[in-house]
Copies of this chain bind each other. A is one copy, B any other.
Amino acid sequence: MSQKFEQWSPLRRRLHGIIFEAETVEGRLFDIILLLAILLSVIIVMLETVPSYQLQYGRLFTVLEWIFTFIFLIEYGLRIYCVKKPWNYIFSFFGLVDLMSILPIFLSLIFVGTQSLMIIRGIRLLRVFRIFKLVNFLSQGQIIMAALKASREKIFLFMIFILILVSIFGSLMYLIEGRTNAGFDSIPRSIYWAIVTLTTVGYGDISPQSPIGQFLASLIMIAGYSILAVPTGIVTGEIIKSSNRAYTESCPHCTKEGHAKGAKFCDQCGGILNP
């Protein structure tokens, strides 16, 4: 399969265009049908776990699942056949996801329950961006990713701080409520409660009963309220910076930076900007 693309058979080149590109009518049609098939097969995997549906339509679900798996198996084979560098595809992110979309149903013949892993097919839906206004979406996504990447270290630092904080709060609550309240009967469980509280989720399956426990819980909540501001501040700062950068090109006449998107003239010296 190491021949040059020009030497490929016409069928293989046509298939490549249909499967890997979205410029032609057939290519777009193929992508849309594939997305619908993925969506349907994911919905079936989900519905199959609902006891009442399983009782009524269990047989139908199994048949449909095998049909979809067969379709994805053929698609996987065709992708390997018509891609330029098969091994690059197989070990790429989407290549592995494609493989993992097919395997679970075969595993389920041996191990019971593994077919729920087919939900992993949902990740294939990310291909949707290939079809609808790809470029614009990706550039928007890149701004977010750049912002998250730039704030990675701050967020990591923040996470460690949060982990130490919930450990200390959890242990304190264990000491205070542990003897009287079944919800705080161990430190790991008290830490779980502290995370539930600090993130303002608040299930209420575990909640302090003693006045002093409720007082400490109040401190954690108010702390959580202020702490919540920190990651938001970090990410917001980076998104503002990174979306500024995205529209930035300096003026060749006066070196002024940070022009608006689509500007043709510098707004400080009136000189023409590079197109």
Q: Which residues of A line the B interface, CB within 8 A? A: 42, 45-47, 49-51, 113, 116-117, 119-120, 122-123, 125-126, 128-129, 133, 136-137, 140-141, 143-144, 147-148, 153-155, 157-160, 162, 164, 167-168, 171, 174-175, 178, 185-189, 191-192, 195-197, 199-205, 207, 211, 214-215, 217-218, 221-222, 224-226, 228-241, 243, 245, 257-260, 262-272
For A125, give the chain B residue with the smallest CB separation: B164
Question: A47 — which chain B residues lie within 8 A by C-beta?
Answer: 188
Closest approach, in angstroms, between the C-beta of A93 and any C-beta of chain B? 13
Question: A189 — which chain B residues lie within 8 A by C-beta?
Answer: 50, 211, 214
Main SS at interface, chain A: helix
Q: A203-B207, A237-B243, A260-B267 are in contact. Are A160 and B125 (CB under 8 A)?
A: yes
Closest approach, in angstroms, between the C-beta of A131 and any C-beta of chain B? 13
Question: A245 — which chain B residues lie within 8 A by C-beta?
Answer: 260
Can you give 11 contacting A-B residue pairs, CB < 8 Å? A46-B186, A49-B188, A116-B187, A123-B164, A159-B226, A192-B218, A197-B201, A225-B228, A226-B235, A230-B235, A264-B270
Report the bound CA distance from A222 to B263 in whole Å: 36
Report the bound CA distance from A215 to B178 in whole Å: 20
Question: Are B226 and A231 touching (Cβ within 8 A)?
Answer: yes
List 3 tightest A-B contacts by C-beta distance, closest first. A263-B267, A203-B204, A201-B202
Which of B143, B171, B236 is within 8 Å of A232, CB to CB?
B236
Question: Are A240 and B236 touching (Cβ within 8 A)?
Answer: yes
Question: A203 — which chain B residues lie within 8 A by C-beta?
Answer: 202-204, 207
Question: Are B51 and A186 touching (Cβ within 8 A)?
Answer: yes
Question: Are A116 and B214 touching (Cβ within 8 A)?
Answer: no
Question: A235 — which chain B residues lie within 8 A by C-beta?
Answer: 226, 229-230, 232-233
Report the bound CA distance from A129 to B154 in whole Å: 12
Report the bound CA distance from A42 to B163 in whole Å: 12
Question: A258 — which chain B residues lie within 8 A by C-beta?
Answer: 260
Question: A269 — which chain B residues lie within 8 A by C-beta?
Answer: 264-265
Question: Are B234 and A237 touching (Cβ within 8 A)?
Answer: no
